[in-house]
Amino acid sequence: MKVTLISIPVRDQEKALQFYTEKLGFLIKKDAPLEGGNRWITLVSREWQDGPELLLEPAPNHFEPSKVFQDALMEAGIPYTQFDVDNVDAEYERLCKLDVVFSVKPTEMGTVKFAVFNDTCGNNIQIVETL
């Protein structure tokens, strides 16, 4: 068994697509229309194009429990998911220049360094570097 698809709830798929590709650097793997004006949009890491796909899931717009959960995580400041990076400080600087808003600046904790930013689509995302 292996992980091939991970979904992240987004409230605006087009806005999420722009953020995740233009600012974070993910690549589009699939983009197909679905009913109700939604799309099946999956992205992959530029560095790991054969790795798991990230689905930009419009669930908060159609499934109230998803919206409630997403809102609760944001209010508590808890990241929805995390992405590994080689250098948190360098990624923090790069993303700040692209106007990405961080709620937690690079911070060391034990054997990792992490930072948390807002993806503009309803989620906190954590980036992590193993020290």
Residue range 109-122, pLDDT digits in tens: 999 999 999 999 99
Q: Considering its fold, how many domains does the chain have in total?
A: 1
Residue 72's CATH number? 3.10.180.10
The single-letter DSSP state of residue 100 is: P
Q: Which pTM was predicted? A: 0.95
Give the range of the structural domain holding residue 62, as residue numbers without chain letter.
Answer: 5-130
Q: What pLDDT shows up at residue 46?
A: 96
HEC readout, 52-88: CEEEEECHHHCCHHHHHHHHHHHHHCCCCEEEECCCH
Alpha-carbon gap, residue 12 to 45, rounded angstroms: 21
Q: What pLDDT shows up at residue 83?
A: 97
The single-letter DSSP state of residue 36 is: G
